Structure 1
C-alpha cells in the first residue's frame, strides 16, 4: 500500500459502485440465459462505459440502462438473432439491483463508517439500483448519500460528476477521496482535485498514462485497515 501524504484517509469517502463494491459475475449467467456467451461480460460492460462517456463528450445524455440495453441489442443481433431482444435486455439488466456486494466491501464499509468517515456513492449506474444492492447487503445506512451521474448531468470521469459528489458532501474536493477499481475513474477524480484510492482487484499494472492513485489496497477491507 502506498502511504497517504497526510498519513490518514480524508473524512469523506466517495465510492464507485459497479465492480468496486459489487460482484458482477451473476451478469455472466444472465448473458448465458439469453444465448450470449458469459465471457462477453467484460467487453459488453466496457462498451457501455465507452458509449456513455462518448455521449458525455459529445454533449448528449442517456441513462446507464439505455446505453446498456443498446449494447445488448447489438450483441443479440450478431450472436442470438432468434431471441426476443426486449425480453433478453430486461432479463439481463434486472439483475443489477440484485448483485451481491463483495464480502471485503461489506467489512470495509462497516469499519470505515464505524471509524467516523462520511461515506457516499457515485455511480454511472442508478442511485435506486445502488440503494437496492446496499439494502440487501445491510450496509445502506452506512452511507449518507447515494448519487448517480444523471443527477450530475455527465458520466464519470467528467469533472461535473465528481463536483456533484463533493458539492453534496459540502466539502472542497481536496477533502474527499474517490474509492474505485477503475483506473480511468481514479484519473478523473484526481484531475477534479479529489484524493484517490485504487482498489486493485486484478493483477494487472496501473496504466502509466493516467494519474496514479494516492493509495492502493487489495480491497475495501484492506483500505479500512
Structure 2
C-alpha cells in the first residue's frame, strides 16, 4: 500500500465536470448529441499530436477546429455565435454530484489541492468558482502556462513545482486512463476514477482506483501517513 500523498492534482474536464451539457449546443446546430464524446476525443487527439512534436494550441482553439470539421462532415454549417456559445459552455459546466464532497474531504484532511487542466485558465477558474470549489484549491495550473498539453511529463512536473512538493508525493486524480498513465510516467502517483469502465491493461496501472470521486477521496484518506 502506498503512503498518503502530500498533494492532489485533480484533472478538471470530465473528472470534476462532465461535458454532457455541451450536447445541447450540438443539437442546436443540427448535430446529434451522440457526437459529443467523439468531438472531445478528436480534440484531445489533436492536442496530443501537437504535444508530441513540442507544439501547443489552447484547447478551445483545438475544439473549435474540430467543431468545424464535425459540421463539415455532417453537411452542416453554423454561425459564429452558435459555435462560440457551445465553446463558452466549457466555462459553465455543472460539477459531478460528488465533486464537492471529494474535494472538501481531501482539503479538510490537510492535503494541498491543485487543479490541473488542459483547458484554459479563465474557463477553469470559472468552473471552480461557479461550483463553489475555488477556495479549496491552492493553485490552478493549466497547460497554457506550460506550453504543452498533457500527457507530456513537463505538465505533471510543473504541477508538482506549483504545489511545492516532490513529484513522487503528488497524486493525479483523473477519469482518463491516458492521464493517469502520463502521471505515472512522470513519477507521480495516480488515482483512477473508473465510473464503470475497466482500466486498460496496456497502460501503467494507477496506485488507487475507485468508481467515484467520493470513493477515491476515501481511499486516499485511508492511506497511511
TM-score under structure 2 length normalisation: 0.94
> In the alignment, which residue of structure 1 is the partner of 2:18?
23
Give unmatched runs, 5+ long, in structure 1. Answer: none
Deviation at 1:80, TM superposition (A): 4.3
Q: Aligned residue for 2:65?
A: 70
What does the per-residue CA deviation read over 1:27-51, in whole Å, with 9 as the maximum and x for residues that have no partner? 1111111111100011100000000
The number of residues matched between the two structures is 218
Measure the CA separation in 1 of the matches of 2:77 and 2:25.
17
Match of 2:197 in 1: 204
Contact 2:29 2:77 in 1 (8 A): no
Which ranges of 4 or more aligned residues in structure 1 deviate by more than 6 Å? none
Displacement of 1:81: 2.6
Q: Does the alignment pair 1:81 with 2:76?
A: yes
Query: What is aligned with 1:39?
Result: 34
Alignment match, 1:223: 216
Q: Report the 3-state secondary structure (helix = DSSP H, G, I; strand = E; otherwise coil) of the residue aligned with 1:103.
A: coil
Identify the range of structure 1 (110-119 vs 215-224) with the bigger mean alpha-carbon deviation. Answer: 215-224
Which residue among 159, 164, 169 is the counterpart of 2:158?
A: 164
Partners of 1:82 and 1:189 in 2: CA distance? 39
1:157-206 per-position Cα deviation (integer Å, ceiling 9, x unaligned): 000110110011121110110000000000000000000000111x2321
Could you list the per-position Cα deviations for residues 50-99 of structure 1 after superposition, in whole angstroms to 9, with x for gaps in the alignment?
Answer: 00110111222110010000000011112243432x23320210111110
Q: Structure 1 CA distance, aligned partners of 2:169 and 2:152?
A: 19
- Give SS of 1:94's match: helix
Q: Which structure 2 residue ranges, 5 or more long, are not aligned?
A: 219-225
Q: CA RMSD in A?
A: 1.1
Matched, 1:5 2:2: yes
Check the 8 A contact 2:13/2:117 in 1, yes or no: yes
Contact 2:30 2:76 in 1 (8 A): no
Give me the whole-angstrom Cα distance separating, in 1, the residues matched to 2:23 and 2:77.
19
CA–CA distance in structure 2, aligned partners of residues 5 and 124 of structure 1: 27
TM-score normalised by structure 1 residue count: 0.94
Q: Quick check: 189-198 or 57-66, which moved more? A: 57-66
Instruction: After TM superposition, list the pairs within 5 Å mapping 1:114-129 onto structure 2.
Output: 114-129=108-123
